[in-house]
Structure 1
Amino acid sequence: MLKSYGALFRFPGAAAFSAAGFIARLPISQFGIATVLLVSAHSGSYTVAGRVAACATLAGAIVMPQVAKLVDRRGQAAVARPVIVIGTIAWLLLALAVTQEWPSWTWYVFAALGGATGPSIGAMVRARWTHLLPDKALQQRAFSWESSIDEVVFVIGPPLATFLATAITPWAGVATATVFLLVGGWIFTGLRATEPPPSPEGSGISSLSLMSPALIAVCVVFVCGGTVFGAIDVIVVAFASEEGARGVSGIILAAYALGSLFAGLTYGVLKFRRSVGGQFVFAACLLAVLVPTLLLATNLWVLGILIFVAGSAIAPLLISATMLIERLVPKAALTEGLTWSITGLIAGVTIGSAGAGALIDEYGARLAFWLPAGAAVLAALIALATSPLLRHAAVQRTASRLQSSRTDSVVPGTPVSEADTPDEPDSPRVHG
């Protein structure tokens, strides 16, 4: 398996931008919990802390797609570097405002500014792989690798932020995440050799025209998936607290991420006869089968086993969605297309966190698992209902791109490889 992934890093610059992207993505898993710990320590209110953190999340969901559009048009470094600087200043000002007890409205302002200026590093990393790799099989492997990196981020990030904020000082978690953002983001955007060229011609592609019915369907499924993820994070903490072992919640959530990590690494080296659209639908159905099993948890040991298994549905859903979006949107708008799906995921996380909290207060942690279970089933139903649309749109876009590559090849005389042919819904060919 490792040998299969090693082939990715034979391409010049691949290891460097993937490693830098890992560092720059660590704050994604840290800012939320670090903000809650910082604000709650100084205000004494988890309600206020949750609102401040939610303000950052919602601001990011609204603004990130617009930043991604600029990245596609003007280039990663040209857009992301100023955004990273503004975000760094905003998060440091939030830490200062809270610790120095500035008026609470300033907390919301700085949190919103910090959330809004978080560049979509994950989308930019995947855009680099798409630009760098010659065929779909390698791209699937790269997307699987990056999905696994995402899981490592969520295994390492929250415990590190929690340790820093509780063992050292409340502002240490936010400060460390800010350093990761600045250093990792600056190194990543400085690697110009692998940066996709800007696509000024994409300026004619509006967000409205980009949002095809197929892409909207993927984003709606991601809202449901985000609801699953956000709800489970909150419910696990409450479940562990009810069992008198609140500190174990971090281990349980790490098992959840590890299940996804192993599934992602395995997914990347498998070959499928299903089209990418079919893989996406299958992954959504797998989520609907595995997540409801969490309702069977009677203690922390059982929950740990069930959540590890349920986690194995996450990476296949995210990886297949990335490959599907790559086929659904014009190449000149890839970063924006990927960011819209991430926005759907973030919106779902916000819904799941808030909804789970209300259910826990009313019914307890065990019954609150009905929320992620229901959201997972809804995701599968939407994916199944829109599967013909997803497959047709992916084939149509890939065929259009193939025709364009034949008539306007970057390297004259280079034949189009078989791996670049459109995915047919029922093709007997093994798909990468």
Structure 2
Amino acid sequence: MSPRTVLTPYTDLFAVPGARAFSSAGLLARVPMSTAGLGSVLLVEGESGSYALAGAVAGTNALSFAIGSPQWARAMDRVGQSRVLRATAVLSLVVGLAFVAAVVSGAPHWTWFALAALAGGTAANVGSVVRSRWANVLPEQGQRQTAFAFESVADEVVFVVAPPAVTFLAALIAPPLGFLTGMLIGVVGALVLSRQEATAPPVAPRVAGQPRTRSRVLTPGLVAIGITYLAVGTVFGAVDVVVVGFAEDEGAPAAAGIALSAYAAGSLLAGLAYGIVKLPGTLVTRFLGAALLFAAAAQTLHLVGSLTTLVGFAFLAGLAIAPVLIAGMSVVESRVPRASLTEGLTWTSTGLTVGLTAGSALAGIAVDHWGAESAFAVPALGAALAGLLAVAAWLVLRRTPAPAGSPAEAEVDAGADAGAPA
């Protein structure tokens, strides 16, 4: 089979009018997703000399984003993506500049926390925005799976390329430059994306004189997936911290970057493959299978004993990341009414963000008390918990009817779940 034939599902995606433009703009707009936390850590530590303070400020930013982004997504579903994207881009720029100015000028620390919270709370989850656009322009579920796979790969590209660039700018030029660069790229991308109104999901019309009805988004099934993703997020946050600690213990701190790149590379390759392969079963059973694979693959981290094995096992564990993210997003996309799709996808991502913050904190405690090698138990146990929660989510989804207005697969009964492709 030729490379052209293998990549045909992806090339077909970008034959859709407007797809190349909104996906490219979305790639730029999501850069802050990978740089806001790291950039704020480098900025605060560079100005204050305190990693503890830097971590607390970055955590405040992340938690505020987790709370605020679903509210912006809800507004997008009600009034349109373009208006909200323009508002969040301008607010992010103003608040981000104020945050940098407060840190550099030595303002009281409480202002750093307040502005970090505002910076996180004014940011939109662009990954969900782009995925909802794919769902709007692609009529077939198989095409949407390929599109979601591509967006997962785009996420990995951002996380591989942007953080080293931000670190370089902050370390070699000036601490504020890393945070500012990521923020400005994101603002430009969001403004460009906001101008592409033709591919945005339509807003449900409102009848004059009638109150606006709101679709129920937080169904038991979506909540179950969000909780599963919270456990998945703890794995991501813990791996970052433990890998850095282990590399430092081994006397080669630069090797942490190699190991984390291998982790991301495994996910990137798996994401590309997931978008091409035609898998059996319904969306729900694929999610369960991917989650169990994720849980099993992470157990290899218990075997890490050297930098060489770290890189190898990180790559193997990474192979299970993209499938569980794509499968879960696909289930949510199929189970959420179209009028609330952006919000539904954003709530799912919120679970990842909260989990990532918690995982980083837990892993830091484990490294301090157990040592880095033993602390690999934190991401391994987090992945095992994600597998158990996925089983619970699978049971909930099998017993929960799809909401009205959602494009859920027709085969929701046990017979369909046994193997009919969705």
Q: TM-score range by the shorter chain?
A: over 0.9
Deviation string, structure 1 residues 317-346 (Cα, Å, up to 9, x no partner): 110111100122111111111111111111
* Contact preservation (8 Å) 1:224, 1:379: yes
- 1:287 maps to which residue? 294
> Does the CA-based 8 Å contact 1:227-1:353 persist in structure 2?
yes
Report the CA distance shift for 1:426/1:180 in structure 2 as closer, same or farther (over 3 A): farther
- Alpha-carbon distance in 1 for matches of 2:81, 2:404: 27
Q: Which residue of 2 aligns with 1:411?
A: none
Give the aligned residue type for 2:297. Answer: L
- Identify unmatched segments of 5+ residues in structure 2: 1-5
Is 1:339 equivalent to 2:329 in the alignment? Answer: no
Candidates 373, 397, 416, aligned match of 1:390: 397
* Structure 1 residue identity aligned to 2:258: I
Structure 1 residue aligned with 2:164: 159
Is 1:204 aligned to residue 213 of structure 2? yes
1:83 and 2:83 matched: no
> When the two structures are aligned, how many residues end up with a matched partner?
412
- Pairwise CA distance, 1:400: 5.9
- Structure 2 counterpart of 1:99, from 99, 104, 112: 104
Tell me: CA distance 1:203–1:153, structure 2 relative to 1, closer, same or farther (3 Å).
Answer: farther
Establish whether residue 431 from structure 1 lines up as the match of residue 421 from structure 2. Answer: yes
Residues 1:226 and 2:216 aligned together: no
Identity, % of aligned positions: 44
Equivalent position to 1:173, from 170, 174, 178: 178
* CA 1:426–1:309: 2 relative to 1, 3 Å: farther
What's the TM-score, normalizing by structure 1? Answer: 0.92
1:272–1:430: 8 Å Cα contact kept in structure 2?
A: no
Q: Which runs of 5+ in 1 are unaligned?
A: 403-418
Work out the CA distance in 2 between the residues paired with 1:116 and 1:87.
9
After superposition, the Cα gap between the structure-2 partners of 1:133 and 1:398, relative to the gap in structure 1 and judged at 3 Å, is: farther
Question: In terms of mean alpha carbon deviation, does 227-236 or 100-109 score higher?
Answer: 100-109
Q: Distance in 2 between matches of 1:54 and 1:176?
A: 20
Q: Which has the higher helix share?
A: 1
Counterparts of residues 318-333 of structure 1 (less than 5 Å)? 318-333=325-340
1:30 aligns with 2:35: yes
1:275–1:391 contact (8 Å) kept in structure 2: no
Match of 2:285 in 1: 278
Partner residue of 1:309 out of 307, 310, 316: 316
TM-score (norm 2): 0.94
- Between the aligned partners of 2:277 and 2:246, the Cα distance in structure 1 is 35
Q: In the alignment, does 2:33 pair up with 1:43?
A: no
* Deviation string, structure 1 residues 280-324 (Cα, Å, up to 9, x no partner): 111110111011111111111110010011011110111011110
How far, CA to CA, are the matches of 2:86 and 2:260 in structure 1?
Answer: 32
2:201 is paired with a residue whose SS is coil
Counterparts of 1:270 and 1:398, CA distance in 2 = 28
Say if 2:89 and 2:123, in contact at 8 Å, map to a contact too.
Answer: yes
Residue of 339, 355, 360 corresponding to 1:348: 355
Question: RMSD of aligned C-alpha atoms?
Answer: 1.8
| CA–CA distance in structure 2, aligned partners of residues 310 and 186 of structure 1 | 36
Residues 243-271 of structure 1: CA deviation (Å, up to 9, x unaligned): 11112211211111110000000001111
Deviations 1:133-175 (A, max 9, x none): 0110101100000011011111111111111100111111011
